[in-house]
Every structure is written in structure tokens, then in C-alpha cells.
Structure 1
Amino acid sequence: MSFAPRPFPILLLSLLTTFFSLCSAEIRSSSVRSDWRPIIPFDEFGFTHKGRLELNVSKIALSDQPNPNPDLSKVGFFLCTRDSWIHVFQQLEEGDVRCALDSNLVKRVYTFDSLKGGHEFSTVFSETDADQYTLLFANCLQQVKVSMDVKSAMYNLEGKENRRDYLSAGKTILPRVYFFFSLVYAALAGLWIFVLYKKRLTVFGIHFFMLAVIILKTFNLLCEAEDKSYIKRTGSAHGWDVLFYIFSFLKGVMLFTLIVLIGTGWSFLKPFLQDKEKKVLMIVIPLQVIANIAQVVIDETGPFGHDWVTWKQVFLLVDVVCCCAVLFPIVWSIKNLREAARTDGKAAVNLMKLTLFRQYYIVVICYIYFTRVVVYALETITSYRYLWTSVVAAELATLAFYVFTGYKFKPEAHNPYFVIDDEEEEAAAEQLKLEDEFEL
């Protein structure tokens, strides 16, 4: 019997475990049916020096066996760090080992030669080397398909009482982080309500829309704090994940809609939306629905599923399309303001509006780039002990974006657009003329 690994799936897994962040570990149940993959990733977890892995596997079945007496030591579960997996992959490629389970760089948890005729097993594995580990299943028997039900629980023992902490070592403070930011947004909502009441005579519909976004963000963070808190203590979200997904969906739709409405100048420059602007909303909202469905599938199924990578790619693609789509209305508004500045004789007024929308365009691009690229890079390069820093960075960037939007588009009792004197008008006209020459 040959145990030569199939190179493409192993290469694919190496890329996944290196570049994609797996789901945060908790008590997870997974069903594998007639799976031919030589390597199946399950969960990733940051262990302290008092880490534990509880593994319960039942309904084990091997099908399509060409050999009546297969070497079951080549089938089983193991733990491996990301750095070690790169070297394991090299060993497999160079032929130093024939199976990942034979490498001295992995930690065997359980191999099927210990089953002794049974179809289930339970084991507790103690991990004393603090690091970020991935739980993987190896099947080095060619043409053999595996079916099984897997229940895994990874946790750290904390304090003198050895309390179980089901959150990864780098994420154990996330409940407090999310709760703190929920309080910040609650205070921000209160401040915005005060501003709207104080300047109620100049409030537009868009300002109430901003308030709704802040309130949804507050509830979203509060539910996420409770979700992580329950997982930390019990390994299960106890329904808080459902509320989190609901508020996350509503917040996402409302935020992208708000950016589109501000970008079109709705309520500030005009009380209506053009057909092309309505089409952007009709594209963004369904895409947000798809993105949220993909996120739920990614979070709830884990990377063991065949379609996990597909859903991950769907989420990334849809998110990028949404981010690009919301930029178009801002570009249209900038173009319309430039054209109006040449024709309606109000150069200074249009220049101020043009400057504002240009600033907003730049800020939206920076916000999207930071939260989609920089935060992901931080999560990738940061030590597993400090994974919470990427969450803090993302929330601070989002908070800054909300504050900037509210400050720049707040209701004004005396609109500065309409208190322009002749000298400012002439200066603005000259500046617009210079900008036109520069573009040419």
C-alpha cells in the first residue's frame, strides 16, 4: 500500500492555514461523510501552558478500501502550528515523510490503529507548549473515504480554580473590548440625539438615518460582547450569535446605504435620488444579504466543509464589490458639482461642497482600505497572543469614520454655504479655473 500524499490538496491546505484565519474555537460538532481529502482542517486555537483538547469521534467508517488490512496508523488527528505546517509540507514534497502523521513536527492526538475494532473514541489531549495550533485530520490511505461525527472542544484552564476558557489565548479579552466600544457608541448616540434636538430646525432626514446606524452599531457590539462572553465561559453562544447576526446584517445594510445617500447628496443637495443612484442601492442591499449569509456559513460550519473555501471567497468578493459600488455616487456628486460651478455662477458655494465631498471620498477609501486590508494584515502578522489588537484597530477606525461623518454633515443653523461674500466668490472662481487648467 502506498501512502504518497496527493500534492494539490495539501498545497491548498497549506495556503489556507497560512493566509486564512479559521473560526474561533468553541465546542463544535462536525459531520464528515465519504470524504476523500488527505488533510481536513477543523479548528484553530491559541493554547496557553494549560491547554486542553477534548475530542469525541463516533460513527467512524472507512469505505472503498482496496486493502482488507489497511495501516490505520496513517489515519488520525493531529495538532500543528502554522510555522510547523510549512516545514511539514516541505517534508512531504521532498519525500522525507510519506504521511503528515509521521512528521516529528506534528503532535499526534489519536490514530485509528487504537480503535481496536470499535467505531468511536474519546480522548483528552493536554497541550503545555503555548502556541497557536490547528486541529487537523490526516488520511494517508489512497482511495479510502472516511465518514465520522466529530465533536471537539479546545480550551485553556485559567486561575487557581482551573476555570475553562473556550476563547483562544489572543481573543480572551474580546468580550470586554466589544462591551467597551458598545458603551462608546451608546454615548455617541446620546450626543447625536442632543445635537439633533438642539438644532432641530435644521435637521434633515439623513441625520435620523445616521442616528439609526449608530444605534444598530451599539446593539451589534453589545450582542457580540455577550456572544463572546458566553462562548468564553461555556463554549456555546446560547442564542446570542443569532442576535449578533441580525444586528450585524442590519448595521451593514444601513451603513452602506448611508454612505450611498451621503455620496449622492440626498437631503443635503437634493431631496430625491436619480435612477442610477437607486440602482446602486438595489445592488448594494442584495449584496449585503449575500455577504451576511456567507459570513454565517463561514462562522457556523468551520473549515472542515468542502464548500467552506467557496463561501469564504464569496464573502470576500461581495465585500469588495460593495465597497467599490458605494464610491460611485460620491464620484458622480463631485462631477455634478464641478459642472454646476461653471454654469450657475455660485463658484464659492459649489467649491465648498466640492471640497467636502472630495474629503468624504478620500475618507471612505481610507476607511475601506484600513478595515479590509490593513486590519487583515495585522491579524496575519500579529502574534496569536495579541489577535485582539486587530479588532481594536478595526473598531477605532470605524469609530473615527462615524465621528468624521457626523461632524462634517451635522445640522447647521447657519449654513456656511450661503454666507459667501464677493471676494470669496471671486477667489473660488479663480481656484476652480486653476483646477481645470491643472486637470487639462
Structure 2
Amino acid sequence: MRTGSMGTSLAATLAAGVTVLLVLAGVTHAEIRTTLIVSDARPLILFEQFGFARGGKAALSIRRSAWRLRPGSRLTGVDPTLMGFVLISGAQFPKINNASEYAAADPGGNSGGGGGFCVLTSGYAVPMIRLSDVPAGGATSILPIDDPDEYAVVFNNCQEGVEVTLDVRTEMYNVQGGVPDGLRDYLPVGLQPLPTIYTVVSAVYFVFLVVWAWACLRRRATAERIHAVMGALLLFKALKMACAAEDTWYVERTGTPHGWDVAFYVFGFFKGVLLFTVIVLIGTGWSFLKPYLQEREKNVLMIVIPLQVIENLVLVVIGETGPTGRDWVVWNQLFLLVDVVCCCAVFFPIIWSIRALRDASKTDGKAARNLHKLTLFKRFYVVVVGYLYFTRIIVSAFLALLSYRYQWGVNVAVEAASFAFYLFVFYNFHPVEKNPYLYVGDDEEESAGGQLEMDDRAF
């Protein structure tokens, strides 16, 4: 085992675990999980992260364990006492990371593979079970949590060049009331308010949908095709949040989502595709400015929609494989890359429309109408940029600053920003008889011309 690689691996493994909390902010996965590890030589494997209250329990069952020397290994044998599971608290992680970076090489020490720092034998981690203590029929370790904190269940292999095969079942839960025989609560402390939060958000969007449908029916003469697409977006957003509420409710009581995670993924897929489609269509002025899309605008849609399909498939892989997967960090990076590309792509149609309106204002003599359109498009651009920036970047920093007890605050921030964004878009682009795209009063034309000249260099 190399000292430097241990420190780097530990930091990367747990940092990725924090990242996925944000990536999967909309859904809670099972806290009872069965994992199969096959011929894996990684020094550290993150299994779970869970926020415990006092009296919570971490249960781990090893049903099967085997190991072998990797071809080309310099070791002459395998020491199973140097392989096992530990609990690492959030308070102890900085100490472990510091020790792993600065520990002196110790060829005769406990690492068994060239010296260095070993989490399993350090005083900063809580030992759960070592492979040397696992009989042929398997073994179970249940640890009560006396010090509330967020803990990571980590498998540590302190011998470089040794591959392990494991069949492991993990079960993390808190106990209501902190009494030994209390009801189990499988949600981490920081996510326990989620069922209520998601239920309220879902109800709000269903009400929003009813109001939107009523507004469209009331002004059906001026309703455009884009309004139907926007209504579908509200429907799938409401259904997604309803499934998130059911998912977290079942996980809280049983430890598994009972299939509600599948419904969450399905509705989340349609919501994601429709959200970016609506942004692109509004940005191009489709159904407002013109009943058709230009070739370059169609190309943007042909890029964004497949990318959304890929993004949602990657999200499923991340959620269902968990951090134990060898390529889990790579999948997270791919997800973030695709999401960034989608966000950048939707800006182009809005910028094209703003430039086209500025050019038209100089030639068609309709200054007031173009001023209305230009102002609305510029405002729309700023709001889209702010929304995507907040939900992708600002919330990450927010999560890093929050205590593990208040992780639900990230979900509230994201949903509040989303609702504000939806309100802005739906209010500004709702069907009205005197649409600012189309209606211009006679007394507005002269003053608008001067204002457009002053605004000429804004974009």
C-alpha cells in the first residue's frame, strides 16, 4: 500500500459521496442494500453514508468473502487481518486524511504492502469487522451509535496487490425516540423532513397545473401550442415530486423504495426533457414570434433532447449501483459533463433571438413591439442563467456549508428556486389577448424608438 495513494483515494471516495447527495437530491435510495464486490483490489471502497442520531445502528453482514494475490504482486501471502470494514465519522475524517498524507513509511509496520497509513488499524476509525473474523458461513456486525454524526461505512484493504470478493448486506437506521425497541427510521437525520417537503411541493405543482389549465381554457383563442407543452411540463413535475414523496416515505419506514424509485426516474426523465425543450422553444420564439423553427434551432433540440436521455440514464446507473461501483466516480463526472453541455446549449437560441430582434428594430420600423420582445427575451436570458447557475453551482457550495442535520435545506433551496423560475416563465409567457409580443399601443412607438437606440449595446 502506498501512503500517498491512500490519502488521495480516501479524499476522492468520500468527496464523491458528498457530490452524489447533490446529484440525487430528488430521490432517496434504499438504506438496506446488498452489494457484490468481485476481484476488487481498491484500497478503499465506500459503501454507505448515513446521518445518525443517538441510538441509531449500523448493521453489516458479510455473507461470503474470498481473497487472492493479484498477478504480479510482490506479496508472498495475504493477511486477512489487514482487510475489513470501519465506520468513519465526519469529525474524524480530516484527521484520517491528514494522517494518511503525512504518515512516514514503515516497511515493517502493519500495512503488509510496503508501509504507510492504514485506516483499519488507526485510532480514528471505528472497527466493524475484519475478514479474519468471518467464518465460512458469514458474519454480522451491529454497532450502536453513541456519538451523533454522519458516518461512512468503508471497506479498507491495507495490502496492495490483494483482490477481494465480497457479498455484503448493509442496513443503516435511526431509532425513533432513541430507545432500543423503538421504530426504525431508515432516513438519515438530515433527510427526515423530505416526505413532508415533497408532498407539499407536489401539491403546489398540481394546483399550479389546475390554474394554468384554467387560464389556457379561459383564453383558448390566444393559447398557443407552446402553452400545451408548458402544461405537460407542470404535470410531469408534479408527478415526479409525488413519486419522490412516496419513495422517501417507504424508505423511511422499510428501508427500500418498493418500486417508487422507478416511477421517479420515469417522470423525472420526461420532466427533464420537457424543461429544456420549453426553454429552447421559448428562447427561439416558437409559437410566439413564428410558427416554425430554423435549421440551427432544430439542431439545438436534436442535441439537447438526446443529451437529456443520456443524462437520465446515467442518473439511474449512479443511483442503482451506488458508490461501491468501480466506475461510480466516472459516472458522476459524465453526468455533470452532460448536464453542463445541456445548460450551455439552451443559451444559444435565446442569444440568437435577442440579436435578431435588435437587428429587426433597425429595419422594420416597429420599435415599440421590438422593445417589448427584446426586454422580455433579455430578462428571460438572465433568469435562465441565474436558475441554472444556482441549481448547479451555488447549491453545491450550500451543501458543503450545511451540517449533516440540515441536508434537507438543499432540497428546499432547489425546489424554491425551481418554483420561482416556473412562476416567472409561466407568468411572462401565459396566453393573453394583448400579448407583449404582438400588441402595441399607438402612443408607445415614438418613445420606444429612442429607448432602443440607447439599449443598442446591451447585448
**Could you tell me the TM-score, scaled by structure 1's length?**
0.94
Aligned CA RMSD, in angstroms, stands at 1.9
Task: Measure how far apart 1:25 and its partner are.
Answer: 5.6
The change in CA–CA distance for 1:25 and 1:384 in structure 2 (over 3 A counts) is farther
Q: Secondary structure of the residue that 2:167 maps to in structure 1?
A: strand
Q: Which runs of 5+ in 1 are unaligned?
A: none
2:8 matched residue in structure 1: 11
Select the residue among 382, 396, 407 that pairs with 2:416.
396
**Contact 2:187 2:251 (C-alpha < 8 Å) held by counterparts:** yes
Shift of 1:422: 4.8
AA aligned opposite 1:153 = E
Per the alignment, residue 351 of structure 1 pairs with: 371
Equivalent position of 2:440 in the other structure: 420
For 1:140, the equivalent position in structure 2 comes to 158
Which one has more relative contact order, counting CA pairs under 8 Å at least 6 apart?
Answer: 2
> What's the CA shift for 1:326?
0.8
> Partner residue of 2:82?
74
C-alpha displacement at 1:381, in angstroms? 1.4
Match of 1:284 among 286, 304, 307: 304
Q: What is the alpha-carbon distance in structure 2 between the residues aligned to residue 102 and residue 215 of structure 1?
A: 53
Q: Is the 8 A contact 1:14 1:89 kept in 2?
A: yes
- Measure, in 2, the Cα distance between the counterparts of 1:380 and 1:16: 16
Letter in 2 for 1:86: P
1:85 aligns with 2:93: yes
User: Counterpart of 1:52?
Assistant: 57
Q: Quick one: which amino acid aligns to residue 7 of structure 1?
A: G
Report the AA paired with residue 142 of structure 1. Answer: E
**2:209 matches 1:198:** no
CA distance in 2 between counterparts of 1:9 and 1:142 reads: 10
Structure-2 change in CA distance of 1:373 and 1:154 (3 Å)? same
Q: Alignment identity in percent?
A: 45
Say which is worse superposed, 52-61 or 346-355, in terms of deviation.
Answer: 52-61
1:407 aligns with 2:411: no
Q: TM-score, normalised by structure 2?
A: 0.91
For residues 421 and 206 of structure 1, the distance between their equivalents in structure 2, rounded to whole angstroms, comes to 25
Corresponding residue SS for 1:201: coil
Query: Which residue in 2 is equivalent to 1:64?
Result: 69
SS in 1 for 2:124: coil
C-alpha distance in 2 between matches for 1:49 and 1:416: 58
Q: State the shift of 1:67 in Å.
A: 5.9
Aligned residue in 2 for 1:167: 187
Partner deviation per Cα, 1:306-337 (whole Å, 9 max, x = no partner): 11011000100000000111111111110111
In structure 2, the CA distance between the partners of 1:307 and 1:183, relative to structure 1 (3 Å rule), is same
Name the structure 2 match of 1:295.
Answer: 315
Counterpart of 2:309 in structure 1: which amino acid?
A: V
Question: Whole-Å Cα distance in 2 between the matches of residues 296 and 435 of structure 1?
Answer: 46
Letter paired with 2:164: V
Q: CA deviation at 1:59?
A: 2.1
Aligned partner (choices 149, 153, 157) of residue 131 of structure 1: 149
Which shifted more, 24-33 or 253-262? 24-33
Unaligned ranges ≥5, structure 2: 22-28, 105-115
Matched residue, 1:273? 293
How far is the alpha carbon of 1:421 from its aligned partner? 4.4
Change (3 A) 1:299 1:46: same
Cα deviations across residues 315-369 of structure 1 (Å, max 9, x unaligned)?
A: 0000000011111111111011111111110011001100000000000001001
1:39 pairs with 2:47 = no
Comparing 327-336 with 78-87, greater Cα deviation is found at 78-87
Partner residue in 1 for 2:209: 189
**Alignment-mate amino acid for residue 170 of structure 1:** G
**Cα separation, 2, equivalents of 1:422 and 1:312:** 55
Deviations 1:272-317 (A, max 9, x none): 0111111111101110111111111111111111110110001000
SS at match of 1:202: coil
Distance change (3 Å), C-alpha of 1:81 and 1:5: farther
Instruction: Give 3-state SS (helix, strand or coil) of 2:189's partner.
Output: coil
User: Mapping of 1:212-251 within 5 angstroms?
Assistant: 212-251=232-271
Using the TM superposition, give the Cα deviation of residue 144 of structure 1 relative to its aligned residue in structure 2, in angstroms: 1.1
Size of the aligned set, in residue pairs, is 435
How far has the Cα of 1:68 moved from its partner? 6.7
Counterparts in 2 of 1:43 and 1:257: CA distance versus 1, 3 Å: same
Q: Could you tell me which of 133, 139, 147 is aligned with 1:114?
A: 133
